[in-house]
């Protein structure tokens, strides 16, 4: 069975909230109930569970097993994927592989986190010894360094980053599931005048941690047709690279593994860049999207800003971008945050985008970024291309 013999037959998403009084398993139960109602599946037919990691469950070594117990699921296949923001699209690839291997037939993909209200993570490795003592306190500092290095090498037009911020915010206003605090339009001046977080990273460059959950049901394409689902999405191509350039002592931090992952996904899908209907890139920081445009081959190195300024990225434009607002303008649900972009891509392919529906969507490119390693760019880069069933 090829990757494209799998099928995403349903999606679900809770409202993203700034800070919740609900437990992450409450959100998870809401997602499962919604998916069962949408598909007509009985809970006993769900025999696989694949989860993203969770800041809430980070201290618990039995997270997927306990979650399945809480939800009343008896499973043949159960796992938590540990590649950060790449986990949601990586889950589709792994679900397809598990179904192909005969390990399960119907997989519940669950992405849930309550990072804003219950963060139980404790990241060790190099951070306590080599970065925190010197003031590099988390991703804003790291992306500040990446942005500064990029600007030194290529120059940087901040009005291009402003365009990304403004476009995504316009999309979030049309997304009822986006965090209410973020559903307000902004201007270029709002972006340029927002306060510095870690120079040159501004407040409006950054995600806001939130609580919420999303989910998918994945089965085989054959089973989807047998059950007569009227619409479903098929993964055409996928690429993943972890520890890009790890062997280099002085790697270029403005590069990422998306160059490799993207080429692999595009080749498998048999598509060229001008055939991509929309892009839903992982967007913890605006500069990350600019770099991804270059790494994915939409433009040459150092030309990301010009490409952004010259391209209509609205939901009716040349290349619709994060049509639900992305994480920056809808809210980042912790380590499940990458699913916000994925769910939006599936929603658009199902033709359920409402007032922000992309006209005639033929496919969707979704990307992931997985954590910030020491003295390099992000640890894992992933790219998936989905299309509606022909």
Does 121 have pLDDT greater than 90?
Answer: no
Average pLDDT of 25-42?
A: 98
Cβ(352)–Cβ(323) below 8 Å: no
Predicted pLDDT of residue 147: 96
What is the rounded CA–CA span in Å between residue 80 and residue 318? 36
What is the pTM assigned to this prediction? 0.97
Over residues 170-227, the pLDDT tens digits come to 999 999 999 999 999 999 999 999 999 999 999 999 999 999 999 999 999 999 999 9
Nearest CA to 212 among 71, 65, 8, 19?
19
Q: State whether residue 10 is helix, strand or coil.
A: strand
Average pLDDT over residues 47-55: 96
SS (H, E, C) 115-184: CCCCCCCCCCCCHHHHHHHHCCCCHHHHHHHHHHHHHHHHCCCHHHHHHHHHHHHHHHHCCCCCCHHHCC
Q: Please say whether the dihedral angle defined by the alpha carbons of residues 167, 380, 56 and 116, taken in this order, is positive or negative.
A: negative
Q: Average per-residue pLDDT in the chain?
A: 95
Q: In angstroms, how far is CA 204 from the centroid of its own chain?
A: 19
pLDDT score of 123? 79
Q: What is the pLDDT at residue 133? A: 80
Ordered by where they begin, the domains of the chain are 3-121+210-226 (3.40.47.10), 127-208+233-388 (3.40.47.10)
Measured between alpha carbons, how far is 172 from 216 in angstroms, rounded to an integer?
Answer: 21
pLDDT band at 1 (very low <50, low <70, confident <90, very high): low
Mean pLDDT of 237-246: 95
DSSP class of 113: E
Neighbouring C-alpha atoms within 13 Å toward the C-beta of 157: 14
Tokens linked to 301: 């190195």
pLDDT over 90 (residue 247)? no
247 neighbors 372 (Cβ within 8 angstroms): no
CA nearest neighbour of 32 among 46, 16, 18: 46
Handedness of CA 284, 286, 289, 290 (dihedral sign): negative
Q: Which helix (H) or strand (E) holds 197?
A: strand 196-198
- Which residues have CB under 8 Å from 87's CB, separation 6+? 52, 53, 81, 111, 335, 336, 338, 368, 370
Angle between helices 286-295 and 158-173 (to 10 degrees): 110
Q: What is the DSSP string of 36-96?
A: HHHH---GGG--EEEE---STTTT-TTHHHHHHHHHT---SEEEE--SGGGHHHHHHHHHH
| Residue 193: per-residue pLDDT | 97
Rounded to whole angstroms, how far apart are CA atoms 40 and 144?
A: 47
- Please state, in angstroms and rounded to a whole number, the distance separating the CA atoms of residues 382 and 242: 9
Residue given tokens 């350039």 in the structure block: 245
- Strand-pairing partners, residue 112, are 213
Mean predicted confidence (pLDDT) in 33-59:
96
| pLDDT tens digits for range 339-364 | 999 999 999 999 999 999 999 999 99
In three-state form (DSSP H/G/I as H, E/B as E, the rest C), the secondary structure along 303-332 is CHHHHHHHCCCCCCCCCCECCCCHHHHHCE
Structure tokens at 29: 């139960």
* pLDDT tens digit sequence for 71-108: 999 999 999 999 999 999 999 999 999 999 999 999 99
């Amino acid at each position: 069975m090829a990757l494209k013999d799998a099928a995403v037959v349903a999606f679900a998403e809770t409202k993203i909230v700034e800070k919740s009084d609900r437990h992450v398993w409450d959100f998870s139960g809401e997602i499962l109930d919604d998916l069962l109602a949408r598909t007509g599946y009985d809970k006993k037919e769900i025999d696989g569970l694949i989860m993203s990691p969770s800041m809430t469950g980070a201290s618990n070594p039995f997270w997927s097993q306990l979650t399945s117990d809480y939800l009343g699921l008896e499973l043949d296949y159960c796992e938590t994927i540990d590649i950060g923001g790449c986990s949601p699209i990586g889950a589709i690839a792994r679900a397809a592989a598990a179904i192909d291997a005969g390990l399960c037939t119907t997989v519940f993909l669950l992405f849930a986190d309550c990072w804003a209200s219950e963060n139980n993570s404790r990241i060790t490795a190099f951070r306590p010894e080599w970065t925190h003592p010197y003031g590099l306190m988390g991703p804003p500092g790291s992306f500040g360094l990446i942005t500064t290095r990029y600007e030194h090498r290529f120059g940087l037009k901040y009005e291009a980053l402003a365009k990304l911020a403004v476009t995504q915010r316009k999309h979030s206003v049309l997304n009822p599931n986006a965090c209410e605090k973020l559903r307000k339009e902004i201007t270029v001046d709002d972006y340029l005048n927002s306060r510095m977080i870690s120079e040159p990273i501004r407040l409006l460059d950054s995600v806001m941690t939130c609580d919420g959950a999303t989910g998918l049901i994945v089965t085989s394409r054959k089973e989807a047709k047998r059950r007569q689902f009227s619409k479903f999405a098929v993964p055409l191509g996928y690429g993943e690279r972890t520890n890009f350039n790890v062997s280099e002592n002085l790697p270029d931090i403005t590069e990422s593994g998306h160059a490799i992952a993207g080429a692999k996904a595009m080749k498998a899908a048999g598509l060229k860049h001008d055939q991509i209907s929309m892009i839903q890139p992982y967007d913890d920081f605006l500069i990350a999207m600019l770099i991804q445009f270059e790494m994915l081959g939409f433009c040459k190195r150092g030309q990301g800003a010009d490409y952004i300024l010259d391209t209509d990225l609205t939901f009716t434009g040349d290349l619709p971008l994060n049509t639900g607002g992305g994480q920056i303008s809808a809210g980042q649900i912790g380590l499940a945050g990458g699913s916000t972009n994925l769910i939006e891509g599936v929603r658009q392919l199902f033709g359920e985008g409402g007032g922000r529906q992309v006209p005639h969507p033929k496919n969707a490119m979704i990307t992931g970024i997985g954590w910030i390693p020491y003295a390099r760019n992000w640890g894992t880069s992933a790219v998936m291309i989905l299309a509606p069933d022909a």
